[in-house]
Amino acid sequence: MPIDSPFPKRNPREVNKRFFRPLRRLIKMNYFRFKVRGANHIPTEGPIIFVANHSGWVALDALFMMMAIYDTAGPAYLPYIIVHDMLIKVPMTYHFLKDLGMIPADWLQYGREPLPPQINPVAIFPEGADGNSKPFWKAYHMQHWKTGFVRLAIQHKAKVVPVVILGGEEAVPVAATLDALKPLLGSVAPIPLSLAPLPSRWKVQFLEPIDFSHYDPALIHSKEACRDIAAEVHEIVQARLLKASKGKPLSWLSNLVDRDEDEDEDENSPEKTASENPAQQSAEPNKEVVSESAKPAENSLPPKSIDRVPLSDALSDAFDPFNPFGQDERV
């Protein structure tokens, strides 16, 4: 089976011919608009991991990101890509996409052996299928990030490059999330709103890389620490994504829906319920109401025992506005 192959195949020349050239033709026809920002942030040496937001029922966002890397950093930097195991197990999709250098997502599961160092660079969408299956009214609001990229980055002492991709929400919108197939596929699936990609503006923004060579290798055994680090990188990408999508119609809709959901959560919070029930307060005057999110995790490490690299520099970069082809940027 292809999934058991020791090394995935990757053929930059064939990828350029079969995938990138058709995209460039559509760009030349103005069917798609395409901009690249922050290409100077792509490292020129060492292990590299690209982590990006995921959207759209078909992975056009992955192709646009890979084309941006190919065109600005060169064919040698075309990354291997982590994909859903089903794309490799199904012969038809495997043979169509095999030149992309597909790696099954199962390889990043907790407890598995690390990827061989020869597989470099690597591109990962930490949202997984939850990201490209989210409906259009949740556009630009990322789902929870899985932690496989954190363990891989620490194991390989890699530089992690956060990437923001805009365009998938409009080009291949999702009508609804299909949960019924999860027992069969192992994940949710998207229901397309449009079967053909729609004209759209694409933008790929590479943010300042985060050096994971300074992290304590023992952290890969702490699920709580890996979740915390993944959440920090998630915050970097989410901040830039919301800023970059400001003014887009889908962004306005998703922000409205997100605001309503936050208000519903506040209304149903334990603190709110307790404040509206004076009888319960008088009956238990000394009992404090503590939300689940405020309770310490059982397996959490003391903050001082986690040797982390401050992300303040990367966070400040995430809040810088897009500059039209700033200094040292390549398109």
Q: Which string of DSSP letters, residue by residue, matches 158-177?
A: PEEEEEEEESHHHHS-EEEE
Q: Express each pLDDT in 44-71 by its tens digit.
A: 999 999 999 999 888 899 999 999 999 9
CB 81 within 8 A of CB 126: no
Q: How many Cα atoms sit within 13 Å of 40 on the Cβ side?
A: 6
What confidence tier does 262 reach under pLDDT thresholds 50, 70, 90?
low
Q: Domain extents for the chain? A: 2-273+297-318
Give pLDDT, residue 188: 79
- Grouping H, G, I as helix, E, B as strand and the rest as coil, residue 81 is strand
The residue among 135, 202, 191 whose CA lies nearest residue 168 is 202
Instruction: Please state at what angle helix 148-156 crosses helix 223-244, rounded to 10 degrees.
Output: 110
CATH top-level class of 2-273+297-318: alpha beta
pTM here is 0.74
- Residue 326: pLDDT above 70? no
Residue-level pLDDT at 287: 39
Give the integer Cα–Cα distance in Å for 229 and 309.
Answer: 10
**124 against 133, higher pLDDT:** 124
The residues, ordered by sequence, that sit 6+ positions from 121 with a Cβ below 8 Å of its Cβ are: 47, 48, 49, 50, 69, 77, 78, 79, 80
Cα–Cα distance for residue pair 123/166, rounded to 1 Å: 17
Q: Is residue 297 pLDDT above 60, yes or no?
A: no
